[in-house]
Amino acid sequence: MAEGNRKAGRKAPDGGADEADMAEGWRHGLAEGLTKYESMVEAIAHGIQTGELKPGARLPPQRVLARQFGVTVATVTKAIEHASRRGLIVTRTGSGTFVRNKSDADAPEHGDFVDLSLNTSPTIIAASVLQHSLRALATSGEPQKLFGHSPIQGALRNRRAGAAWFALRGLAISPDQVLITQGAHEGLLCTLLALASPGDSVLCERLNYVGLKRIAKLLQLRLIPVEVDHEGLDTTALTRFRRDKSVKAVICTPVTHNPTTANLSRARRAALLRFAREAAIPVIEDDVYGMLAGADAPPLASEWPEGVVIISSLSKSVSPGIRVGYIAAPAPLVSRIRDAMFTLGWTEPSTQAAIASQLIHSGDAFQSTLLHRTEASRRVEIAARALGPRMVTSASTISYHVWVSTGSMPPDTAASDLARMGVLVSTSTQFLVGDGPPDNALRISLGAVPSLYELTPALDAVARVLSTRKPQHSA
């Protein structure tokens, strides 16, 4: 015991903790299923999150890290390079490697805008995994996959990849039921074009993805807003539309609703599907956040495959630049949606689809998703600490956006105050369908900011702006 105490209290020459002990203290954060250097990066991130690695602390020399992690010095060098890109650490020539401080020279300058309005994922998180698949695809010697013409619904190999992607969500879907689009937005557009005509009505959450309103305007559809709360779509409001023949579909986001992050409760899932069956209308399920949420949030399509059109993509859980979406439709609807797709083009996005297929079939897409789940969880926890009871979203949610109450403050006022401080956010007004009153809430996006050291002060700014108002959960 005495020897252990002496070792724990040993100091480095500069007065800091012993370098070997520092490495030993946070190396338990190694992530399973990653390469060695990726595991080291995750260990550094974990150490910063838990406070074991303080801002400004110097990391041990590379030889010490190599010994503690059981890797080569070359692996340590690669890990330090990637941790630096993620904004976790800084390397100073002649001095060593340090946990980044807000005062570091490469931190964002005062007055720069920090964008918490763009709902995206940080590309750096899975960059090395994506590069691995791109290199494999580039050397495959099959240019037809990348640059050739394919039918509008997608080449069979790419539709098989789409089926495999849905299989990760627990769905057994034939490739014949899969159609490939340029992102989930186009998937929504084509599906609505196939199912509804100008003047028809579509039921949807009162707060919704901004792009849906633009699609409805383009197609001259009437969106009928239905209340949404912490249990998701309020299904009690649906009964009055059971015999309304103008209603052609219900569109909803059951998992990690945008913007509120609500998940449709078990009781409401059953009520929604019961209504759709009785009304003989399909459900369009926007499942773009489903892969990020994981197995605890199954899709509606798993309960009623005969009546649910499910739409997914890789943008929220792999990388925003991969503009590939997948539609899985009941067999009787496939040809209708395929015909609608000809309105937008004559071929699938072959190059993007080939990249997505490589990622999926190699397992790199799922590996990227695991990395994003870890990062999104970390960022939500940071947001919860900064925002406290103002954050409506549960701290256990896996998401790159959170829903935040502004209390009695109008959301536009809060957004204006934050813009003057250099922080951009989205207000509930932007997501509102119809003419009802907006919720006093903001959507705070956590993924567009590449570094946690930019995210934390931005969230602190949000907390300061809202600190004079009493929290009031409105969704």
CATH code, domain with 71: 1.10.10.10
Quote the pLDDT of residue 297. Answer: 87
> In the chain, how many domains are there?
3
Domain-embedded: residue 106? no
Cβ(308)–Cβ(283) below 8 Å? yes
Domain-embedded: residue 287? yes
Query: What is the edge-to-edge ordering of all strands in the sheet holding 401-405?
Result: 401-405, 441-445, 426-427
Domain-embedded: residue 109? no
Quote the pLDDT of residue 343. Answer: 93
Longest dimension (CA), the chain: 81
User: Is the same domain home to 159 and 306?
Assistant: yes
Quote the pLDDT of residue 141. Answer: 65
Cβ(343)–Cβ(186) below 8 Å? no
Low-confidence ranges of the chain (pLDDT < 70): 1-34, 85-86, 93-94, 102-112, 141, 468-475
Q: What percentage of the chain carries pLDDT values higher than 70?
A: 87
Which of 311, 338, 361 is at the close of a domain?
Answer: 361
Quote the pLDDT of residue 19. Answer: 42
Which of 325, 344, 361 is at the close of a domain?
Answer: 361
User: Is the same domain home to 196 and 314?
Assistant: yes
- The helix or strand, by DSSP H or E, that contains position 204, with its residue range, turns out to be strand 201-205
User: Is the same domain home to 213 and 253?
Assistant: yes
User: Is the same domain home to 58 and 179?
Assistant: no
User: Is the same domain home to 294 and 322?
Assistant: yes
Query: What is the edge-to-edge ordering of all strands in the sheet holding 308-313?
Result: 178-181, 325-328, 308-313, 283-286, 247-252, 201-205, 222-226
Distance CA 109, CA 449 (A): 14
Quote the pLDDT of residue 148. Answer: 79
Domain-embedded: residue 104? no
Angle of helix 36-50 relative to helix 62-69, nearest 10 degrees?
Answer: 100
List for the chain the helix, strand, coil content (%; round to 5).
45, 15, 40
Quote the pLDDT of residue 20. Answer: 38
Which of 296, 327, 361 is at the close of a domain?
Answer: 361
Distance CA 394, CA 383 (A): 10
Domain that holds residue 234: 145-361
User: Is the same domain home to 89 and 217?
Assistant: no
Cis peptide before 61 (omega within 30 of 0): no
User: Is the same domain home to 352 and 372?
Assistant: no
Quote the pLDDT of residue 109. Answer: 42
User: Is the same domain home to 349 and 218?
Assistant: yes
Q: For the purposes of burial, counting CB atoms within 10 Å of the CB of 398, is it exposed (0-12), middle (13-18) or buried (19 or more)?
A: buried
Quote the pLDDT of residue 47. Answer: 81
User: Is the same domain home to 447 and 309?
Assistant: no
Quote the pLDDT of residue 123. Answer: 84
User: Is the same domain home to 292 and 203?
Assistant: yes
Strands 114-115 and 96-99: unpaired
Cβ(230)–Cβ(270) below 8 Å? no
